[in-house]
Chain A
Amino acid sequence: MPAEHAFPDSAARAAAGGFETEKMSLSMGPSHPSTHGVLRIQLELDGEVVTRADPVIGYLHRGDEKIAENMTYNQFVPYTDRLDYLAPLANNMAYAIAVERLAKLEVPPRCQATRVITAEMARISAHLLGLGAFGIDVGAWSVFMYSFTEREKLYRLFEELTGARFTTSYARIGGSSRDVPEGWTGRVAAFCEQFLPRLEEILNLLTRSKIFVDRTVGIGVISKEDAIAYGLTGPNLRGSGVPLDLRKDRPYCGYEQYEFDVPVGTRGDGYDRYLVRGEEMRQSVRIIRQAIAKFPSGPWYAEDAKRIFAPPKDKVLTSMEELIQNFMIVTEGPQMPAGEVYFEAENPKGALGFYIVSKGGGVPWRLKIRAPSFCNLSILPKLCVGAMVSDVVAILGSLDFVMGECDR
């Protein structure tokens, strides 16, 4: 509901001879189904209309940045799984590239292509869940079931590649934990083949659904200027019509080789953000297909990085030099130069940034995680004012945030 339709406040109404009313305070969350985790919003209501919203975050704060300062670079990889836990492969990659920038290390094309394929699969998986949950929030239950069927297929592929369905921990500094299994890219291509028609089915359930359109069009409108001023990134920024995609604008990991379009919205409302996510999945399939079509052979880890990437296990068990190398990397960590880097990757939720301050050695002095969900949620106090309580649910669904990343 636009702000001008909101009821005048109680004092003004009393002065006009109306009823005396008072504001009600409502604590929404931290275990409310529409807050997608443990977000709590302290709402102040005038009837059904929100007059003030104060998000309370930190329920999932684990001190990841403190932990990072106390372990080697490789040991922190599993913690990145638990940031945006709907797209762990994309987090792994963003973190590994940030540390590799610090080491001035380039991974070989085969590793880059694997990272691109996995990151785009993670994007599809994250957006599927985002849309499914958004559907549930506004009353379209069945979408969730269909999208989870597709996510299950992705999880099988993740498991085959990394050994884990959910917490993949796939990236290593200077490479991956293992090479792509025989025939895996073919199975990914087969998934893409059957996924596109299924995606159309899923999107058809929402795009023209009267209920979905009514609940999202014109709700939670973010202007271009606000989106930039609040540091929004990802589909939330592009939904407002800002064509900013780090994969295009600051290409990393070989994204410049692939052809894809960056969808943008026009009105910046919840419906536009939904459309952007839907289209991004189609573009991800395009990228995956191109990456598979010219999937490079050759090494899958940086072979010249002797002080960073651990040698193959069979060599460790048979050769003295590799045994020492492996021991040093495991106990002291990959050796990094002193200095500062900041790297942002275009993750499903937006720009996931790592600011690393190194004093040399195998441990970061400071590792700051710039979480897209944290920045995306900071606009909530502005977005909710003037909305109805039920619109708050639709706004939250359209922002598609993850508290694991927001609270770190």
Chain B
Amino acid sequence: MPRALEALAALKGRWAGVADRASLDHPAVNVPAADLLAVLKSLKEEHGFDMLTDVSGVDWAAGARPRFTVVYHLFSTRSHEYVRIAADCADDAAPEVPSAVGLWPGADWHEREAFDMYGIRFSGHPDLRRILMWEGYPHYPLRKDFPLAGIETILPDAEVVAETKTGAIAAPMMGGPFVAHSGGINLTDAEPRAKDESWTERRPKPGA
């Protein structure tokens, strides 16, 4: 039996909340957020999964239950296998899971990114601030309810704004998703179009 399957079987025996997760490639389990740290620690120290390769947030769309999941990919430098650990965030309004920085210092940036993009908080993280967007940015861009074109946002530094008269503007062209689902979306609406275009051949020009 490969080491990864053995390890996950041991986890399932030890924690009642650990359950199999559907996967097309690597062995995967769902773990309750409360047991997450203990499970990761056991994988690292008892089963040889010594490398945290990736931490990724997933948004299952506004209204989905649960809405946010954090997915960890661990790699063993000895047996060269991956395992996938997924933890659902209990609270959709204030998603939170424990931080793995104590186990892997490399988790620091990954968790900051998930916080930056999804607003998922990692309790116990020593320095949880934005990493790709700037400090003070008000939105979480990878959430499904954030539009593709972006949202107009003022820059945090009033002096810079006064001097340069610039801000973060939405993309000049709206549109998307750039794919035709049969019968799903209106393709005319998905076409790339100038943002201020308030009428199309389907919607009459206002006031005309």
Q: Which residues of A contact B (CB under 8 A)?
A: 57-58, 61, 63, 65-67, 69-72, 75, 101-102, 104, 226, 228-233, 242, 244, 249-250, 331-333, 337, 339-344, 351, 353, 355, 357, 361-363, 365-366, 368, 370, 374-375, 377-379, 382, 407-408
- A366 contacts B177, CB within 8 Å? no
Expressed in whole angstroms, the Cα–Cα distance for A377 and B110 within the complex equals: 12
Expressed in whole angstroms, the Cα–Cα distance for A249 and B80 within the complex equals: 6
- Docked complex: B56-108 residues within 8 A CB-CB of A: 56, 58-59, 71, 73, 77, 80, 82, 84, 104-106, 108
- A58 contacts B133, CB within 8 Å? yes
Expressed in whole angstroms, the Cα–Cα distance for A231 and B181 within the complex equals: 38
**Whole-angstrom distance between the Cβ of A179 and the nearest chain B Cβ:** 27
- A71 contacts B109, CB within 8 Å? no
- A58 contacts B84, CB within 8 Å? no
Expressed in whole angstroms, the Cα–Cα distance for A357 and B73 within the complex equals: 14
- A342 contacts B133, CB within 8 Å? no
A-B complex: 8 closest residue pairs judged by Cβ atoms: A231-B106, A58-B132, A339-B24, A230-B106, A368-B56, A70-B177, A331-B180, A249-B80
Expressed in whole angstroms, the Cα–Cα distance for A378 and B58 within the complex equals: 22
- A67 contacts B134, CB within 8 Å? no
Expressed in whole angstroms, the Cα–Cα distance for A231 and B107 within the complex equals: 8
**Whole-angstrom distance between the Cβ of A230 and the nearest chain B Cβ:** 4
Given A244-B77, A341-B24, A370-B54; A332-B182 close (CB under 8 Å): yes
Hey, which chain B residues are within 8 Å of A63, CB to CB? 141-142
Expressed in whole angstroms, the Cα–Cα distance for A343 and B77 within the complex equals: 16
Given A57-B132, A342-B25, A342-B73; A231-B179 close (CB under 8 Å): no
Given A57-B131, A339-B24, A368-B56; A71-B177 close (CB under 8 Å): yes
Hey, which chain A residues are within 8 Å of B170, CB to CB? none
1/0 per residue B6-44: CB within 8 Å of A? 000000000000000011111010000000000000000
Residue among B51, B52, B77, B131 facing the most chain A CB atoms (10 A cut-off): B51
- A355 contacts B133, CB within 8 Å? no
Q: How large is the interface on B (under 10, 10 to 19, 20 to 34, 35 or more residues)?
A: 35 or more
Residue among B23, B50, B132, B133 facing the most chain A CB atoms (10 A cut-off): B132
- Please classify the interface of chain A as helix (H, G, I), strand (E, B), loop, or mixed, using the class held by over half of its residues: mixed
Expressed in whole angstroms, the Cα–Cα distance for A104 and B23 within the complex equals: 12
- B148 contacts A70, CB within 8 Å? yes
Expressed in whole angstroms, the Cα–Cα distance for A351 and B73 within the complex equals: 13
Expressed in whole angstroms, the Cα–Cα distance for A397 and B18 within the complex equals: 44
Expressed in whole angstroms, the Cα–Cα distance for A233 and B73 within the complex equals: 14
Which residue of chain B lies nearest to A358 when distances are taken between CB atoms in the complex? B24
- A231 contacts B51, CB within 8 Å? yes
9 A-B pairs in the complex with CB atoms less than 8 angstroms apart: A65-B142, A229-B105, A231-B106, A242-B77, A341-B23, A343-B25, A344-B53, A363-B179, A377-B109
Other A-B pairs, 15, CB within 8 Å; known A226-B105, A231-B52: A58-B133, A58-B134, A69-B177, A70-B148, A228-B51, A232-B106, A332-B179, A332-B182, A339-B24, A340-B28, A340-B84, A342-B25, A342-B54, A353-B73, A363-B179
- A361 contacts B134, CB within 8 Å? no
Hey, which chain B residues are within 8 Å of A229, CB to CB? 104-106
- B22 contacts A340, CB within 8 Å? yes
- A339 contacts B73, CB within 8 Å? no
- B199 interfacial by beta-carbon distance below 8 Å: no
Specify which of B25, B105, B113, B132 is in contact with A230 (CB 8 Å cutoff): B105
Hey, which chain A residues are within 8 Å of B132, CB to CB? 57-58, 61, 407-408
Expressed in whole angstroms, the Cα–Cα distance for A338 and B25 within the complex equals: 12
Specify which of A57, A70, A232, A242 is in contact with B178 (CB 8 Å cutoff): A70
Expressed in whole angstroms, the Cα–Cα distance for A244 and B181 within the complex equals: 42
- B141 contacts A66, CB within 8 Å? yes
**Whole-angstrom distance between the Cβ of A92 and the nearest chain B Cβ:** 19
**Whole-angstrom distance between the Cβ of B125 and the nearest chain A Cβ:** 13
Residue among A232, A332, A342 facing the most chain B CB atoms (10 A cut-off): A342
Expressed in whole angstroms, the Cα–Cα distance for A184 and B78 within the complex equals: 39
Expressed in whole angstroms, the Cα–Cα distance for A366 and B69 within the complex equals: 12
